[in-house]
């Protein structure tokens, strides 16, 4: 049954993306290039609603069939749908940043409530329950992941391919944890459905973007994968570290760039193109090599370290530090966050 749903997810997402592209062109919902854009042609936006709708419909079906945890389903439905609607509305007409941020915190709080809060964190083989401090940090984590995914959705195919890579990498970590005899409940079904849904959209978004996912899609992906990470941590604490490693390209680039701009006194909500991936795209003069480089980094570097943590051969903190170090080096080399 899951293979049938997977195939239908790809097909429906592909078809719906095409319909959304026609809708965007008819309504003139276009991202028009400016001095801070990484693209050169006006491009329709809002295509991310295709994989949002497909994923949420399949989620409801799997919940109805008892194939997914009810608490997780409610967390994803409430938070994911609200963020997608908020983002789609912003794609149609600008919504003030303070109202968007309020919506982000409300959605993240909803998700964390149904997940039962931040699970105990394993640090250097010791379990640490952070209580309300941890719950607060978890909400901030979800809000930051939601927004950084929006920041990192700036060149053709990269946000989509990162989502697919992270979900497939997480499934491998889950399977390895099971083989190591860890008490892990059924995980990976929703990650696979999300990956398949995004693949349908990706056909329109890479190697040349005929439509962008928009805030509806990027915010949804960031939040949903954050929820996946926290839920996996409730099943087996080391899996939370695996997710942080798998999302390393986006987390390191966005965080490094934000901190450097903050230290320089710049407004972080203003549009810019000083991320490492944007600098790399300007250097090579094309989006495709940069997006493929992200795939390569994920496959040959981040996934192996995540698997090492999942198997217990490497501590989560140590694995994270080792995985992130060269990514930070790339940010320095590409002068991420430098004044434009």
Give the domain ranges of the chain. 2-333
Query: What six digits make up the tokens of 183?
Result: 């008490």
Query: What six digits make up the tokens of 99?
Result: 């109202």
pLDDT tens digits along 253-292: 999 999 999 998 887 777 788 999 999 999 999 999 999 9
pLDDT tens digits along 35-74: 566 777 889 999 999 999 999 999 999 999 998 999 999 9
Q: Which has more confidence, 121 or 169?
A: 169
Burial of 58 (0-12, 13-18, 19+ CB in 10 A): buried
Query: What is d(CA 271, CA 157) in angstroms, rounded to the nearest whole number?
Result: 20
β-pair type (121-123, 43-44) = unpaired
Query: What is d(CA 313, CA 48) in angstroms, rounded to the nearest whole number?
Result: 38
Residue 207, strand partner residues: none
- Cβ pair 166, 224 in contact under 8 A: no
Query: What is d(CA 61, CA 317) in angstroms, rounded to the nearest whole number?
Result: 37
Q: Which has more confidence, 97 or 212?
A: 212
pLDDT tens digits along 201-257: 999 999 999 999 999 999 999 999 999 999 999 888 899 999 999 999 999 999 999
Which has the closest alpha carbon to 309: 125, 134, 135, 41? 125
With the C-alpha atoms ordered 128, 134, 138, 141, is the resulting torsion angle positive or negative? negative
**C-alpha pair distances (Å), 18 with each of 7, 32, 229:** 17, 19, 31
Predicted TM-score (pTM) of this structure: 0.95
């Amino acid at each position: 049954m899951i293979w049938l749903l997977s195939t239908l997810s790809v097909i429906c997402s592909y078809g719906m993306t095409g319909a959304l592209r026609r809708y965007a062109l008819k309504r003139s919902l276009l991202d028009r290039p400016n001095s801070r854009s990484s693209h050169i042609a006006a491009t329709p936006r809002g295509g991310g609603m295709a994989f949002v709708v497909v994923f949420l419909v399949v989620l409801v079906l799997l919940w109805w069939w008892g194939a997914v945890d009810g608490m997780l389903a409610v967390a994803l439905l409430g938070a994911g749908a609200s963020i997608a609607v908020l983002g789609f509305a912003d794609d149609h007409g600008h919504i003030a940043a303070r109202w968007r941020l309020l919506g982000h915190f409300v959605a993240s709080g909803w998700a964390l409530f149904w997940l039962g809060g931040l699970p105990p964190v394993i640090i250097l083989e010791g379990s640490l329950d952070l209580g309300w401090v941890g719950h607060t940090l978890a909400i901030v984590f979800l809000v930051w992941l939601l927004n950084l995914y929006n920041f990192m959705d700036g060149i053709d195919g990269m946000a989509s391919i990162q989502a697919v890579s992270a979900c497939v990498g997480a499934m491998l970590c889950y399977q390895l944890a099971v083989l190591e005899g860890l008490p892990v409940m059924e995980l990976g079904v929703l990650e696979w459905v999300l990956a398949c849904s995004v693949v349908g959209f990706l056909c329109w978004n890479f190697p040349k973007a005929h439509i962008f996912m928009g805030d509806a899609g990027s915010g949804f992906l960031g939040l949903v994968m954050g929820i996946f990470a926290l839920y996996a941590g409730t099943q087996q604490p080391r899996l939370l570290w695996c997710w942080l490693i798998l999302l390393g390209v986006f987390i390191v680039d966005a965080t490094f760039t934000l901190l450097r701009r903050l230290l320089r006194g710049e407004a972080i909500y203003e549009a810019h193109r000083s991320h490492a991936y944007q600098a790399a795209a300007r250097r090579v003069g094309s989006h495709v090599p940069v997006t493929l480089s992200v795939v390569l980094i994920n496959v040959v570097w981040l996934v192996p370290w995540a698997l090492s943590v999942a198997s217990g051969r490497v501590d989560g903190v140590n694995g994270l530090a080792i995985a992130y170090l060269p990514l930070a080096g790339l940010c320095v080399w590409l002068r991420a966050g430098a004044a434009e």
